[in-house]
Amino acid sequence: MPTDRPISFPKLKVACHLCSLSQLCVPAGLDRVDVERLDRMIERRRILRRGEQLFRVGDRLHALYAVHSGVLKTSVLTDEGDEQVTGFHLPGELVGLGALGSERHGCTAEALDTASVCELPLEGLEKLAIDLPSLNHQLHRLMGQEITREEKLVLLLGKKSAPERLAAFLLGLSERLACRGLSSHEFNLSMSRKDIANFLGLTLETVSRTFTHLQAQALINVTGKHVQITDLKGLQRLPHSRAGATAYRGS
Amino acid sequence: MPTDRPISFPKLKVACHLCSLSQLCVPAGLDRVDVERLDRMIERRRILRRGEQLFRVGDRLHALYAVHSGVLKTSVLTDEGDEQVTGFHLPGELVGLGALGSERHGCTAEALDTASVCELPLEGLEKLAIDLPSLNHQLHRLMGQEITREEKLVLLLGKKSAPERLAAFLLGLSERLACRGLSSHEFNLSMSRKDIANFLGLTLETVSRTFTHLQAQALINVTGKHVQITDLKGLQRLPHSRAGATAYRGS
DNA sequence: CGGGCACTTGAATCATCTCAAGGTTTGTGG
DNA sequence: CCACAAACCTTGAGATGATTCAAGTGCCCG
């Protein structure tokens, strides 16, 4: 079996300093020499098919993963067994940071389409972080960002109406795509309406209706998974409070 | 002014190894020698009056704070300026972890009653963490816990009904009080209904009504800020879905 | 070409919110 | 120690945003 012989897959070898994502990812802020050491530590790149899970809640924590291509979603489970999507992860983003410093994963990560991830073995990473203060600082930064991201989500779920939630979701995606040099005003959603609804604390039907309504207000254009943002400013300053919701009840 | 002379306030000197909270706090998992070094680094204990703010969104990050006594709340702001409470922090818990690795605080921390906090100067902490792998690991663990805590909150806000939210809130408090050797079935809330409502993504009135309803179901006893949990199991397995809500409509 | 899945749309229901009034506790100054 | 004001909390009635249930459309894949 060639799978036992890494030499058969030379392209699986990761090279951070050649990766276009390095400024968004773990290597950001590290100097050349340090990136080389990081590079040597990263074991392999793993390919995931649509629907395949990278890890599940309760799995032992062996490694951290950086998305290299494709999109992942992470989710947690209620006691009753239903899912709450906690995030979608684009290339350059880390998944499973919540488990750092613990023994087991606290969420499940699943590929939404074909995706590849870089595996950062935990043991190596922690050892290297002790040697490289800049890497350690970068890890703190990434964890801090994750906390901040979750706080924003809490705010969204606690305070915003359906149209505001969907608008915030689209704007957030748009911004993150822009950072990756992709179009910020036109893109394809890799997640289903169901996943979006779950993430935003809404039902699938409400998401669908809200897409329609945002389109009726000429803020966006939606056709299935394809989205165009036609009025960025309008989306950003969506009628506060419930006005956005009331507006389309009249039409 | 005696405030300039630390010797006038010998009790302000922190001593982690003498602190009953050390097993819940930063020193957990560190050996004696390491705790001594941590101790020397911790600058002072700061006293906060009810309503006083420890730091605000956007403040430069100088230090991390561990609650020593009292209760703090942390909150973030929407673009429109209203508040979302993201957590209540009991003795032994750290506040402001979301800012680690960044320049500025991403949330505001305020005392709910008279409180004291231990100040961990960031510079010293980061330097010490490089020297002490166990401290560095402990910081990772605490940040990971914070991420996990936020994920649970997201789940609560995204999926649960008002009675489930309030029950989860009370159970969470109960558990954390138990860890501190306090009664888990009878305690005083240090936060107002308004703060609870804000935290749980509900209105003040809904929280008040829900308290009444949980009491009518003989699960708790509430009188103002005083709460007794009379049926722990019942609170834990609150009628899933909307049943909890429908149940008390008939009464 | 047909079956299944993802999405849209409609109508009725419901949980929670809003508005409003009354009651209770807390803190303060006389 | 009492009186008063200001918060804080409770309760009720009506409004509403989002859900649920249900039907129908479009699309991808075998």
Token pair 């402990």 is found at B138
| Tens digit of each residue's pLDDT (9 = 90 or more) over B27-54 | 999 999 999 999 999 977 899 999 999 9
Model confidence at B80, pLDDT cuts 50, 70, 90, reads confident
| Higher-confidence position of A27 and A246 | A27
Using a 10 angstrom Cβ sphere, with 0-12 exposed, 13-18 middle and 19 or more buried, the burial of residue A243 is: exposed
Burial call B152-169: b when 16+ CB within 10 Å, e when fewer: bbbbbbbbbbbbbbbbbb
Contact (Cβ atoms closer than 8 angstroms) between residue B144 and residue A107 = no
Mean model confidence pLDDT for chain A: 89
Residues of A with Cβ-Cβ distance to B102 under 8 angstroms:
141, 144-145, 148
The mean pLDDT of B212-220, rounded to a whole number, is: 97
Residue at minimum CA to C1' distance from nucleotide D17: A245
Q: Hey, what are A71's tokens?
A: 């999109």
Residue at minimum CA to C1' distance from nucleotide C16: B206
Model confidence at B238, pLDDT cuts 50, 70, 90, reads confident
Determine what percent of chain B is predicted with pLDDT higher than 70. 89
> Phi, psi at residue B18, to the nearest 5°?
-100, -5
- DSSP secondary structure code for residue A61 in this structure: -
Mean model confidence pLDDT for chain B: 89
Model confidence at B81, pLDDT cuts 50, 70, 90, reads confident
The per-residue pLDDT for B8 is: 42
pLDDT at A34 over 90: yes
Instruction: Give dist(CA A171, CA A151) in Å, integer.
Output: 17
CA-based nearest residue in chain B for residue A141: B101
Contact (Cβ atoms closer than 8 angstroms) between residue A9 and residue A83 = no
The per-residue pLDDT for A241 is: 39
The per-residue pLDDT for B240 is: 55
Instruction: Identify the residue among B150, B204, B236, B242 best suited for mutation to test binding to A, counting A beta carbons within 10 A and taking the highest.
Output: B150
pLDDT at B143 over 60: yes
- DSSP secondary structure code for residue A100 in this structure: T
Using a 10 angstrom Cβ sphere, with 0-12 exposed, 13-18 middle and 19 or more buried, the burial of residue B76 is: buried
The mean pLDDT of A217-225, rounded to a whole number, is: 96
Model confidence at A250, pLDDT cuts 50, 70, 90, reads very low
- DSSP secondary structure code for residue B104 in this structure: B
Q: Hey, what are B91's tokens?
A: 């003795």
Q: Hey, what are B194's tokens?
A: 């308004």
The per-residue pLDDT for B194 is: 98
Say which range, A92-101, B1-10, B20-29, B121-130, has the weakest mean pLDDT: B1-10
| Higher-confidence position of A243 and B138 | B138
Instruction: Give dist(CA B6, CA B71) in Å, integer.
Output: 25
The mean pLDDT of A61-90, rounded to a whole number, is: 94
pLDDT at A183 over 70: yes
Burial call B127-150: b when 16+ CB within 10 Å, e when fewer: ebbbebeebbbbbbbbbbbbbbbb
- DSSP secondary structure code for residue B93 in this structure: -
Instruction: Give dist(CA B227, CA A230) in Å, integer.
Output: 52
CA-based nearest residue in chain B for residue A161: B201
Q: Is the dihedral of CA B136, B142, B147, B151 positive or negative?
A: positive
| pTM for this predicted structure | 0.91
Interatomic CA–C1' length for residue A222 and nucleotide C2, angstroms? 28
Q: What is the DSSP string of B76-89?
A: EE-TTS-EEEEEEE
Instruction: Give dist(CA B95, CA B84) in Å, integer.
Output: 16
